[in-house]
Amino acid sequence: MINASDREQAVKLINVALKSGARLWKACNELGISKRTFHRWKETDSEFIDKRTICERPEPANKLSKEEKQEILDIVHSEEYADLPPSQIVPILADKGKYIASESSYYRVLREANEMKHRGLSKPPVKRAISTHSATAPNHVWMWDITYLNGPIKGKHYYLYLISDLFSRKIVGWEVWEEESALHASELIKRTTMMEKVATKKQILVLHSDNGSPMKGATMLETLYALGIVPSNSRPRVSNDNPYAESIFKTLKYRPNFQPKGFETLTQARLWVNRFVKWYNNEHKHSGLNFLSPIERHDGLDKEIFEKRIAVYEAAKSKHPERWTKDIRNWSLEDKVFLNPERVAQDVDKVENETQVS
């Protein structure tokens, strides 16, 4: 709710705007309120107090009495029901011909009495913060993961280790092996940093991955610390904290020439992945990059390409303006790319801005 001082200030500002010749709906729109809200605030008493906060409200007719709430607490405290949740207590009482309230009412009474606590031998759930990173250029944030490639027989797999860049979506490193290993992963990281010449640059490189054993092995972590790379991991049992890596794997396995029945040999799997990586980096027009190839974005050719596209579209619009009802297509990309942006923080900023306006 808007406090009284902000309401009074809003009414004064709108009245000043009206005296200057402004339209009422436009003045209200600037402050983020409706005309109906303005009239309600204007017609209130001189203190601009929201009467919803001071009015006396009648108690709901279906509200549980103090005696009923105490009876619920006595039941859940009894030795017979102390180890049972309300979802079981309510049906058991119904079998005995007794009904006090619904399961949700039981939980509400327990919360009011501050008796909703974690019980049992298992550890209570821990809420972990989401891993949020941003990149404004290539080689700021890398993402990597491992996926299965079908082998020659059922139950035999090859493992594709793949590293991609957050800013450009380019596949900067990959390898295929017959087993998952932190040693293979650390060697891949070393070779990838050498190929991308990351060691010669001054910015911090973040490597984001899942929580698998190859990602968190001692050999892998030692390599990252030696190279000055900051490790980052997804939350446990949260599959969508590494979405871009999963997206590449889907693109890979939906290629028309992918072999769902399996690769006969490790060499055959490596040759196929090599062809895929060349296609993905150089030819694939990525929808997340506004239909640039990853290598074009990685090499900084995006602005030049977009300028050419804009010129083509502008020429087409000037030639047949009757075919265009709006502006030409937006050929641009954001300068900052986020991995798992913090929506909660963004929502808080939005609410604060709206509150300041209104």
pTM, two decimal places: 0.66
**pLDDT, tens digit, for every residue of 121-150?**
777 777 777 778 899 999 999 999 999 999
Instruction: Say whether pLDDT at 64 is over 60.
Output: yes
pLDDT band at 201; cut points 50, 70, 90:
low
- Higher-confidence residue of 136 and 350: namely 136
Q: Are 169 and 159 in contact (CB under 8 A)?
A: no
Distances (CA, A) of 59 to 62, 64, 103, 184: 9, 10, 21, 67
205: its two tokens: 């490189």
DSSP codes of every residue in 254-285: TSTT--TT--SSHHHHHHHHHHHHHHHHHT--
Query: How far is residue 76's CA from residue 93's CA, in Å, rounded to a whole number?
Result: 12
H-state helical runs in the chain? 4-19, 24-31, 35-42, 66-77, 86-95, 103-112, 182-195, 213-216, 218-227, 243-253, 266-282, 294-298, 302-319, 343-357
**For the chain, what is the mean pLDDT?**
87
Instruction: Say whether pLDDT at 9 is over 50.
Output: yes
Q: Are 331 and 290 in contact (CB under 8 A)?
A: yes
Query: How far is residue 249's CA from residue 338's CA, in Å, rounded to a whole number?
Result: 20
| Per-residue model confidence (pLDDT) at position 268 | 95
pLDDT band at 353; cut points 50, 70, 90:
very low
- Higher-confidence residue of 36 and 128: namely 36
Q: Are 290 and 332 in contact (CB under 8 A)?
A: yes
| Per-residue model confidence (pLDDT) at position 345 | 43
pLDDT band at 116; cut points 50, 70, 90:
confident
Instruction: Say whether pLDDT at 357 is over 70.
Output: no
| Per-residue model confidence (pLDDT) at position 354 | 42
171-177 vs 229-233, strand pairing mode: unpaired
Query: What mean pLDDT do residues 109-123 have?
Result: 86
205-209 vs 141-150, strand pairing mode: parallel
Instruction: Say whether pLDDT at 162 is over 50.
Output: yes
Query: What mean pLDDT do residues 36-61 have?
Result: 78
Query: What mean pLDDT do residues 11-19 have?
Result: 89
Query: What mean pLDDT do residues 8-19 have?
Result: 88
- Higher-confidence residue of 181 and 348: namely 181
Instruction: Say whether pLDDT at 350 is over 60.
Output: no
Instruction: Say whether pLDDT at 204 is over 50.
Output: yes
- Higher-confidence residue of 357 and 252: namely 252
- Number of alpha carbons in the 13 Å side-chain half-sphere of residue 50: 10
Reduced to 3 states (helix: H, G, I; strand: E, B; else coil), residue 144 is strand
Instruction: Say whether pLDDT at 344 is over 50.
Output: no
User: Which segment of 36-45, 93-102, 154-163, 265-274 scores lowest on mean pLDDT?
Assistant: 36-45
| Per-residue model confidence (pLDDT) at position 117 | 83
CB atoms within 10 A of CB 215: 23
Residues 6 or more apart whose CB falls under 8 angstroms from that of 313 comprise: 328, 329, 331
| Per-residue model confidence (pLDDT) at position 90 | 94
Strand partners, 135: 337
pLDDT band at 200; cut points 50, 70, 90:
low
- Higher-confidence residue of 203 and 292: namely 292
Instruction: Say whether pLDDT at 312 is over 60.
Output: yes
Give the domains, in start order, of the chain with CATH numbers.
4-53 (no CATH), 66-112 (no CATH), 131-358 (3.30.420.10)
